[in-house]
Structure formats: C-alpha cells, structure tokens
Chains A and B, each alone.
Chain A
Amino acid sequence: MLDTTLSFLDFNAKQQASFFAILVLSERNLANDWKMVNKDIAKVIFISSQQKINQSEWDKLQLTYPESILVAYSKNLSELNIAWKLITEFDKPPIRSKLISLLNKITVELKEIKEIKEIKEIKEIKEIKEIKEIKEIKEIKKVIKISIPKNILFLPEDYFLGIIQNSIKTGEIYHCQNQSGINLYLYPQKFNYFCSVEITNLKSLFLTHPNEIKVEKILEEDLKKLVKDMKAKTLNDLCWHSTIIASQGRLMKNHHHDDVVNLKYWPDISYLNTVKDYLAIATFMNRNVTSIKKISQYTEKKEVNVIDFHNACQVLGLIDQTKNFCLNSRPASDKLRQLRQNVFEALQFSTAS
C-alpha cells in the first residue's frame, strides 16, 4: 500500500487551514487520498518560509528528513535547486490546480520509489537465497566428497561398516564419535548398539571414512553407565543400513556379477520396506539360485538395487554361494502380473514396483 501522508513545517494556523481547505476541495481530482500526520512520520512535508530559502538550509532539511519528500512552499523559489516546489504567496491558499498537479506527480514518484524498494528487496531476498543455496551446494559437495566412491569395489573397511565388523570380530566395545558429534556405542557381546540418533539420520556417519571417526575401546561396566538411559537396538539394523548406504551399487571384494547366489533366509520385514524393489528381489533370490546379473534381468529391477540388496544380505550372512544354477521361476502370466499390480495399488504400493 502506498504511503500518502503529508505534514507541514513552519506553517502558521491560517496557512494550514487554507491548505487543508484546498486539499479537501481537490480530493476528487487526486490520484489518492492524503492523510495529515506528524512531520516525523510524514512521507511528504510542505515547508513554508516567509524568507528566501537558501540552498544550504534546504540541503540541511533534506538531511533531517531523509525518508521524506520535501516540498518548498513559498513565494520565490526560482533560485533553489529542488525537486518539488509549490510557489504560493504567503498567507494565501495554494492554487488548486497546481496543488492537484503537484500531489499527483508526487504520487507517481512515490509509486516508483515503492517499486524500486520492492525490486531491491526481492533482489536482496534472491541474493540471500542464492547465498544460502551456494552454501547448501557447498555442504552437499562436502557430503558428496565423503561419499564419492574412490574404489570400484565396495570395501567395508573404507566406511563405518568396517568399524562395526571389527567390533563384532574382536568382541571389543567401541564408543564411536564422528565430526558432527554423534555418539554411537557398539556392544557386540549382546549384538546391540546404542545411539540417541535415529538410524535414518546416520547417513553421514555411514559414509564417513573410519579415519574421520574417533573410536575408543571401552569397558562393559563403563558402557552400562554411559547408555543407562538409552534403548538397545540390534546390530543387524546397523549392518543392514550402513551397507545399503555405503554400497552404492558396487560389489564387495571377491564378489562378481557372475556369482551364483541364493537367499537362504529372508531379511527382516522392515528392511524390505525401505526400497520398493527389495521385496521382489528377495522373493526371486529366495526361490532361485542364479547370478546377480540374471537376478536383475529376470526381475527387471535395477542392478544397483540388486547389488546393494545382495551386499547387505551378504553382510548379515543370509546368502548362500554355490556353483549350481537352479532357476525355478517361469515367466508369470499377464493376468497374474496384473493382479499383483492391482494389489500393490490397493495396498498403496507403487505400480512400478
């Protein structure tokens, strides 16, 4: 909304009354209504002077009211270098047409000022947003820097998974702390871990190189004191999620696309719900003994997902590796496939599953 407020400076009562009377008479022809306010908050200030106003005095006034448009209201103003003036005989009311013209021009000016201000504000917001985005991109890059696989193979020892596996192997209790200050306790004797952060929020930890993680061996009695208010969670969850996050479609060392595998046991149902392809991959791998490559081809699921699933199942010891193919599955009828799609939809699953 346009701020159309005006005030007077050095006006006597008669001047004010006559000015106000002309203003009221001019209302019909004005581009907007004008409201009289205190000069400290007025957008437009009419300055009256019986004497000749000199330039330096005017400049001083401008400095006093930097946010306002100053209008010289006097008889002789020709020598002054000022934007707004209304030549008026002292003690006489302003000429109506001149006042209308002046106020409407000021309205246009105020609109322009407002637009410029808004553009400036938008620009500033945009700039802030851009700075924020650049900052975010930098942060993402920082994360990517951690997560970009340097190796074409997935080596657990390059990730937090390596620490978990080491703890399980040695039976040592670890207190782990990453650079973000997340504390996680590994308790291999009970196959548990303790962490106050939800597993879904541990992505950055799972992608961090073990060298960047502070690992401290602790005694069981100390652990019990440290985690007395924390809930024990199964290490299986930690192994599964850390593998899925860090694996990134890369096979582990000593594994190949042509490895003939079978899922001997199903993973926990909660793991199957994390990626929509996993249920189909699990079902197929459980019923067939075949290569990783073939699993992807037959199920029409992304090889990246097949490999991540395979890796996580390997880490949990759910995979049997053999040399004998045994393909039990035959192509399903269209009717059966359609039925499954319909059921998926009815159960709010994606049809693309």
Chain B
Amino acid sequence: MMNSIDLLKIIFTGSIDAGKSTAIHTISAIGDINTATAEKITSTMDYGQLYLANNEKIDLYGTLGERRFEFMSATLCQGALGLIILINNTHKNPLNEVDYYLNLNADFLTKNPAVIAVTHYDEVNTPSVENYQTYLQQRGYTWPVVSADARDKKDIATLINALLLMREYS
C-alpha cells in the first residue's frame, strides 16, 4: 500500500510553535508562503513546494497549530507521502502532544509513514529523545524520533528522506 504514490505531498503537523512554518520555509523552493502569523502562531495554512529534476514537484503543507482546525487534518493528509510531526519540547507536556497527533492521524498512519521531530531541544532537553522513544514503544509505535532544528535545511532534508526511505522499505 505504501508503495503507491497518488499525490506528491508531504504534511508537516504538530504542536503550536513547533516550527512547521519554519521547516517548510527552510526547504521550500518558493518564497515566503501564504501564512498569516500572529505572535509566531500560524492562523492560516502553510504551503511550500520542492521542485524535482523531472519537472515534478512535491507540495509541502503545514497544518494549523490550533486544535479547532483539527477536522481538516484527514482531508489534508489524503494521498500524502507521509507525515512529519514536529513537537515543541518546551511545551508543558510534549509527550501528550505526540500522542495527540498520532491519534489524530491514526487512520492515515495505518498505511503511511511518520517521522517525529523534537524541536527546541537545545532549549529544553527533557523529555529526552530516549524518553519519547520509550513512550512510543510502550504504545506500540515504531516511528523514528529525532531531535531537529526546523531552521536547519540538512535536518529537514533528513526528515523528508527518512520519510521516503520508510515508504521504500515498507
């Protein structure tokens, strides 16, 4: 199932101020994408594009941080290559946040991969990446967890590559 490609799009989701807009902006080929931000919180959808050599492009979507828009998540994820879940480690309960986003996208994740990126790790390193991994394992999830800097092109590239490799090795 994971080997079929319907649409070339990747979804960035996650907690408020986790760096979804930044991550898309870091690798997007198009300039600043249409986001309306107030105090660093996105209130409209993020969009970016990654151009490929064969004139194809991958659409990059960022979900809205506020939970009142969660109903849009399933529609947005339809046909996507995978989900990059960004968790702000300075959040008061980041482990619950992971749980929330995995549950919210549970249907999509039965057939598609996800990568969990812990951001702001340099500011707060508790819970540790190991804590996340243990937490997920206890809940039966095997998705990779890594700390990442949404401003770092290399980190975001690694997350996307990991997502595609997971499809390839599915």
A-side residues, CB < 8 A to B, are 264-266, 268-269, 272-273, 279-280, 282-284, 286-288, 299, 328-330, 332-333, 335-337, 339-340, 342-349, 353
Contacts and interface: CB of A to CB of B under 8 A. Distances in A.
Interface stretch (B11-19, B65-73, B153-161): B153-161
5 cross-chain pairs, A with B, having the tightest CB-CB distances, nearest first: A283-B165, A347-B157, A269-B146, A342-B52, A266-B144
Contacts of B137: 264
A84 to B, nearest CB: 71
Given A266-B145, A279-B162, A284-B165, 7 more contacts: A282-B162, A332-B170, A336-B3, A336-B164, A339-B5, A347-B50, A347-B160
- Choose among B54, B56, B144, B147 the residue with the greatest number of A CB atoms under 10 Å from its CB: B144
A340 B144 contact: no
Nearest to A281: B165
Contacts of A337: 168
B170 A329 contact: yes
A207 B148 CA distance: 30
12 contacts: A266-B133, A266-B144, A268-B146, A279-B161, A280-B169, A283-B165, A329-B170, A333-B4, A336-B168, A339-B56, A346-B53, A353-B161
Contact of B168 (A264, A332, A348): A332
Given A332-B169, A347-B157, A348-B157, A340 B164 contact: yes
B10 to A, nearest CB: 9
B146 A283 contact: no
Contacts of A265: 129-130, 133, 145
A346 B158 contact: no
Interface in B1-42: 3-5, 8, 27
A343 B162 contact: no
B53 A269 contact: no
B100 interface: no
B161 A284 contact: no
B166 interface: yes
Contacts of B157: 347-349
B50 A340 contact: no
A336 B161 contact: no
Contacts, number: 108
Contacts of B164: 336, 339-340, 343
Contacts of A346: 50-53, 58
Nearest to A342: B52
A191 to B, nearest CB: 10
B142 interface: yes
B169 A284 contact: yes
B3 A333 contact: yes
A345 B53 contact: yes
B60 to A, nearest CB: 11
B154 to A, nearest CB: 6
Given A268-B147, A280-B165, A339-B164, A332 B3 contact: yes
A119 B24 CA distance: 60
Contacts of A344: 161
Given A265-B130, A343-B161, A288 B169 contact: yes
- Choose among B51, B137, B146, B153 the residue with the greatest number of A CB atoms under 10 Å from its CB: B146
Given A343-B164, A347-B161, A349-B157, A336 B146 contact: no
Contact of B155 (A269, A328, A339): A269
Nearest to A283: B165
Contacts of B120: none
A283 B5 contact: no
B121 to A, nearest CB: 10
A346 B8 CA distance: 14
